């Protein structure tokens, strides 16, 4: 099994070409994943609230 090094994660030519490009990609990825988790957690919380309301009304 090969160990994941920085060379494997970020290609060398991309690093030498432009670090800003990688930074932008990382930032976009982080923003996207944060938004995804926020939507997911909000959905779970909403479902939990609905379930709690149904349970209390019974």
Digitized pLDDT (tens) for each residue of the chain, 58 residues in all: 566 665 566 555 555 567 778 888 889 999 999 999 999 999 999 999 999 988 887 6
pLDDT reported for residue 7: 55
Domain residue spans of the chain:
8-57
- Measured between alpha carbons, how far is 26 from 33 in angstroms, rounded to an integer? 10
pLDDT reported for residue 19: 72
pLDDT reported for residue 20: 75
- Which helix (H) or strand (E) segment holds residue 37: the answer is helix 19-57
- Measured between alpha carbons, how far is 26 from 34 in angstroms, rounded to an integer? 12
Q: Which two tokens stand for residue 37?
A: 């988790």
Q: How far apart are the first and last CA of the chain?
A: 56
pLDDT reported for residue 8: 61
């Amino acid at each position: 099994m090969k160990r994941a090094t920085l060379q494997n994660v970020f290609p060398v030519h991309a690093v030498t070409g432009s670090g800003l490009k990688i930074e932008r990609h990382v930032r976009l990825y982080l923003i996207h994943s944060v938004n995804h988790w926020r939507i997911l957690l909000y959905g779970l919380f909403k479902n939990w609230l609905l379930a709690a309301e149904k349970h209390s009304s019974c």
